[in-house]
């Protein structure tokens, strides 16, 4: 006979049994935790004299019979004292010593008692609450560290700059209409202001080539960007018959000039083109930042023009603050005593305080967290949801960031059981149904074991596709756009993509920067071929069998490399990871990047080549981000909440 397990019928049977058990136990144990009544069976009078009718039975029933003891006169002698006092359990000696008991006076020994009962250590649950609707200020380095310990693994709380950015114009729409060169500007070679072409007004800066003067530079004045966190460069330009490397844009970093763009490489000659860039590389945040337009080997019949130059800097004032909430959920608020216990590590020079939410406002618990344990009673605040915040103590004028190490945060709860005697019979009756439930759960777990194992194997083999709810077979040969929130843990998705390619025997090609985490994680990207995009490179350079440096500004070389990968004959399918399109767009401009992506997608025609392009839409305006999205039929996203299909 074959036994077939029916989980629903079994659970119903268990529930009926529990109902009968509870009904019977409530009759027999009407007051399960009531004290037992016991009477004394002997006595010994240490001081005083028993009365004439001093019988033990007088105190064994509730009646009018009394046990009478007569007092005796106090002897005028010095009381004897023990030489030591050893508190038991968690009883603490708060003040005084044994000598304080020698005389009847105002000198005391003071002790603190403790509750006997269940000791619960409830570690903090999450850091996603916003109970005061003000938003977090600052960052956690590793919030998970507060959920365990103390183990010397810390969550470092770091202040955040909450200052509001503002722009300052350094060059205001210079169109070269007045004195040449403009005040503070310098020029060499054949640069001049002429009226043959102009984007704004009647003049522009013009470089006409000749056989005698074929090179020259046009430089802005020194621009103080030492306090900047971003620089915006904006101008219009055009060229006539220029070749590659004839018309260059350079930035001065205080020590040397760096080539930023080849303005003569465009195929759109004979028309005004718009150059815009947000510079975030801090090497240019110097007091002598300058912009240069350089004509190189410009010969007779070739010309370059620049007009309507605007340069601004973005300044973020330093106002550092910390305001981070952490929270406990599903707290048993009916328990008698609770302490908040925080173990601190190295503390910053500024004090960090802890406040508790009382239901409508914050109240202070600690003015300062010290290294080691910091304990305070929070019984009066205990509810099902318990929230505290870490707050910096300097309210205004904090111009430098500070940090503090927190090892663990615990709610230490004591459930008072009032010292009732332990009853093994009652315990067994309560344990029996628990054992039955455990057996049923084990059977259910066994029945589902195969299915869970299959899901686990799929997650390990195909971690990227599984996390987005798709299959590896479905995404093979697809051209996908992955939009990322730069504050999320999106790097894990990139590592999952490389692992999945390796697990499925695919050749992996990664286009990224030299300092990318993908390159440093050698074990997770083993056997991959890297193409390192560098702004300072001017031509391809083979570093070794697995690494090639490519100039990021030369999109034609990148396109050729993609084509070469496609044409390489191999039996293995291919996987290409391009990290990241936003860097290309910020360096080469939207129009060139848009055309590059469109040509690239047309080149990637093989059904055996899977391609993933990483894109940060928050780095660009909505129109440009929408245009890039429109090039892809398959779009994925990685937000703070994790992976999903669609857009951010």
pLDDT tens figures, 251-266 = 999 999 999 999 988 7
Considering the domain architecture, whether residues 479 and 526 belong to the same structural domain is answered as: yes
Structure confidence at residue 149 (pLDDT)? 84
CB-based contact 635:481 (threshold 8 Å): yes
* Res. 44 pLDDT band, cuts 50 70 90: low
Structure confidence at residue 168 (pLDDT)? 95
- Residue among 327, 363, 318, 314 nearest 136 (CA): 327
Considering the domain architecture, whether residues 355 and 254 belong to the same structural domain is answered as: no
Q: Which residue has the higher pLDDT, 35 or 135?
A: 135
Considering the domain architecture, whether residues 190 and 110 belong to the same structural domain is answered as: no
> Does residue 548 carry a pLDDT above 60?
yes
Is residue 263 classed exposed, middle or buried when 0-12, 13-18 and 19+ CB atoms within 10 A define those classes? buried
Torsion over CA: 399, 405, 408, 410 (sign): negative
- Which of 266, 292, 315 corresponds to the end of one domain? 315
Q: Which residue has the higher pLDDT, 98 or 335?
A: 98
Cα separation of 406 and 404, whole Å?
7
Considering the domain architecture, whether residues 402 and 441 belong to the same structural domain is answered as: no
646: left (phi over 0), alpha (psi -120 to 50) or beta: left
Cα separation of 368 and 353, whole Å?
5
Considering the domain architecture, whether residues 399 and 309 belong to the same structural domain is answered as: no
**Looking at the 3D structure of the chain, how many domains does it have?**
5
- Residue among 315, 303, 292, 259 nearest 188 (CA): 292
The answer to the question of residue 32 being in a domain is no
The answer to the question of residue 215 being in a domain is yes
Return the bridge partners of 311, or none. Answer: 171, 233
Cα separation of 621 and 640, whole Å?
20
> Does residue 106 carry a pLDDT above 50?
yes
Structure confidence at residue 568 (pLDDT)? 78
The answer to the question of residue 346 being in a domain is yes
Cα separation of 195 and 192, whole Å?
10
Q: What is the mean pLDDT of the chain?
A: 83
Q: Which residue has the higher pLDDT, 492 or 20?
A: 492
Average pLDDT over residues 570-581: 88
Considering the domain architecture, whether residues 397 and 492 belong to the same structural domain is answered as: no
- When mean pLDDT is compared across 76-90, 120-134, 542-556, 594-608, the lowest value belongs to 76-90
Pairing mode of beta strands 609-615, 574-578: parallel
Pairing mode of beta strands 507-512, 529-534: parallel
Average pLDDT over residues 275-287: 96
Cα separation of 277 and 314, whole Å?
13
> Does residue 272 carry a pLDDT above 70?
yes
SS3 label, residue 18: helix
Q: Which residue has the higher pLDDT, 334 or 562?
A: 562
Average pLDDT over residues 181-204: 94
The answer to the question of residue 452 being in a domain is yes
* Res. 33 pLDDT band, cuts 50 70 90: very low
Considering the domain architecture, whether residues 594 and 466 belong to the same structural domain is answered as: yes
CATH code at position 330: 2.60.120
Please, which residues have CB within 8 angstroms of residue 149's CB and are 6 or more apart in sequence?
A: 343, 407, 408
Considering the domain architecture, whether residues 540 and 617 belong to the same structural domain is answered as: yes
Cα separation of 581 and 619, whole Å?
11
Please, which residues have CB within 8 angstroms of residue 641's CB and are 6 or more apart in sequence?
A: none
Show the domain range for 444.
Answer: 424-457
The answer to the question of residue 44 being in a domain is no
> Does residue 212 carry a pLDDT above 60?
yes
Cα separation of 161 and 315, whole Å?
12
- When mean pLDDT is compared across 328-332, 360-364, 371-375, 484-488, the lowest value belongs to 328-332
- Residue among 255, 346, 243 nearest 295 (CA): 243
Indicate the Cα dihedral angle 20, 24, 25, 29, nearest 10°: 160
Considering the domain architecture, whether residues 195 and 222 belong to the same structural domain is answered as: yes
- When mean pLDDT is compared across 365-369, 612-616, 644-648, the lowest value belongs to 644-648
- Residue among 618, 627, 568 nearest 593 (CA): 627
> Does residue 421 carry a pLDDT above 80?
no
Structure confidence at residue 119 (pLDDT)? 66
Cis peptide before 149 (omega within 30 of 0): no
Token digits of residue 585: 């767009």
Q: Which residue has the higher pLDDT, 438 or 64?
A: 438
Considering the domain architecture, whether residues 309 and 353 belong to the same structural domain is answered as: no
Return the bridge partners of 161, or none. Answer: 320
Long-range contacts of 82-87 (CB under 8 A, 24+ apart): 85/109, 87/111
> Does residue 30 carry a pLDDT above 60?
no
* Res. 456 pLDDT band, cuts 50 70 90: low
The answer to the question of residue 201 being in a domain is yes
The answer to the question of residue 121 being in a domain is yes
Average pLDDT over residues 16-29: 48
Average pLDDT over residues 161-183: 92
* Res. 180 pLDDT band, cuts 50 70 90: very high
* Res. 488 pLDDT band, cuts 50 70 90: very high
Considering the domain architecture, whether residues 141 and 211 belong to the same structural domain is answered as: no
Q: Could you give the angle at the alpha carbon of 537 between the alpha carbons of 533 and 538, nearest 5°?
A: 120
Token digits of residue 299: 């010969």
- Which of 315, 350, 381 corresponds to the end of one domain? 315
Which of 91-100, 109-118, 331-340, 464-473 has the largest mean confidence?
464-473
Considering the domain architecture, whether residues 343 and 211 belong to the same structural domain is answered as: no
CATH code at position 640: 3.40.50.300
- When mean pLDDT is compared across 44-48, 154-158, 418-422, 492-496, the lowest value belongs to 418-422
The answer to the question of residue 596 being in a domain is yes
Structure confidence at residue 70 (pLDDT)? 65
Instruction: Note the pTM of the prediction, 2 decimals.
Output: 0.38
Cα separation of 69 and 66, whole Å?
10
- Which of 416, 443, 473 corresponds to the end of one domain? 416
């Amino acid at each position: 006979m074959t036994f077939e397990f029916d989980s629903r019928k079994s659970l119903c049977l268990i529930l009926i049994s529990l109902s009968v058990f509870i009904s019977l136990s409530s009759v027999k144990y009407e007051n399960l935790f009531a004290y037992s009544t016991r009477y004394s069976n002997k006595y010994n009078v240490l001081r005083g004299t028993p009365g004439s009718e001093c019988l033990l039975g007088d105190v064994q029933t509730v009646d009018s019979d009394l046990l009478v003891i007569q007092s005796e006169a106090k002897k005028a002698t010095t009381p004897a004292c023990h030489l030591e006092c050893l508190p038991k359990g968690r009883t603490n000696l708060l003040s005084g010593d044994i000598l304080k008991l020698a005389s009847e006076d105002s000198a005391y020994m003071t002790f603190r008692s403790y509750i006997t009962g269940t000791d619960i250590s409830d570690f903090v649950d999450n850091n996603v609450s916003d109970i005061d609707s003000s938003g977090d200020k600052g960052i956690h380095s590793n919030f998970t560290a507060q959920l365990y310990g103390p183990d010397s693994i810390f969550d470092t709380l770091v202040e955040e700059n909450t200052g509001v950015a503002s722009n300052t114009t350094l060059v205001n729409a210079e169109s070269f209409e007045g004195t040449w060169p403009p005040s503070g500007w310098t020029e060499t070679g054949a640069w001049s202001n002429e009226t043959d072409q102009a984007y704004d007004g009647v003049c522009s800066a013009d470089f006409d080539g000749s056989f005698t003067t074929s090179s020259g530079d046009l430089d802005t004045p020194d621009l103080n960007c030492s306090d900047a966190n971003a620089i915006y460069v904006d101008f219009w330009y055009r060229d006539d018959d220029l070749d590659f490397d004839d018309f260059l844009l350079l930035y001065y970093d205080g020590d040397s000039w760096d080539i930023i763009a080849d303005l003569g490489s465009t195929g759109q000659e004979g028309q005004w083109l718009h150059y815009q860039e947000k510079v975030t590389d801090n090497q240019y945040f110097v007091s002598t930042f300058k912009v240069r337009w350089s004509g190189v080997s410009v010969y007779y019949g070739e010309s370059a023009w620049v007009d309507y130059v605007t340069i601004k800097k973005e300044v973020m004032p330093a106002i550092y603050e910390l305001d981070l909430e952490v929270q406990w959920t599903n707290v048993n608020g009916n328990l008698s005593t609770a302490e908040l216990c925080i173990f601190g590590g190295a503390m910053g020079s500024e004090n960090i305080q802890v406040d508790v939410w009382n239901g409508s406002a914050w109240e202070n618990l600690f003015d300062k967290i010290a290294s080691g344990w910091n304990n305070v009673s929070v019984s009066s605040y205990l509810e099902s949801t318990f929230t505290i915040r870490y707050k910096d103590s300097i309210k205004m004028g904090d111009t430098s960031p500070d940090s503090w190490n927190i090892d663990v945060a615990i709610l230490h709860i004591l459930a008072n059981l009032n010292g009732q005697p332990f009853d093994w019979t009652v315990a067994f009756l309560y344990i029996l149904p628990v054992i039955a439930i455990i057996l049923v759960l084990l059977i259910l777990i066994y029945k589902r074991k195969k299915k869970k194992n299959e899901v686990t194997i799929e997650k390990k083999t195909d971690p990227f596709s599984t996390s987005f709810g798709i299959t590896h077979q479905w995404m093979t040969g697809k051209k996908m756009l992955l939009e990322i929130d730069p504050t999320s843990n999106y790097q894990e998705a990139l590592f999952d993509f490389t692992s999945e390619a390796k697990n499925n025997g695919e050749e992996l090609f990664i286009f990224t920067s030299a300092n990318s985490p993908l390159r440093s994680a050698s074990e997770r990207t083993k056997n991959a071929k890297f193409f390192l995009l560098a702004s300072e490179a001017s031509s391809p350079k083979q570093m070794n069998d697995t690494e090639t440096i490519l100039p990021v500004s030369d999109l034609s070389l990148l396109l050729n490399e993609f084509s070469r990968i496609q044409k390489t004959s191999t039996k293995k399918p291919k996987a290409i990871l391009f990290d990241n399109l936003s860097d290309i767009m910020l360096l080469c401009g939207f129009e060139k990047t848009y055309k590059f992506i469109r040509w690239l997608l047309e080149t990637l025609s093989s059904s055996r080549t899977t391609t993933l392009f990483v894109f940060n839409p928050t780095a660009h305006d909505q129109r440009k981000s929408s245009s890039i999205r429109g090039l892809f039929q398959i779009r994925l996203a990685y937000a703070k909440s994790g992976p999903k299909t669609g857009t951010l």
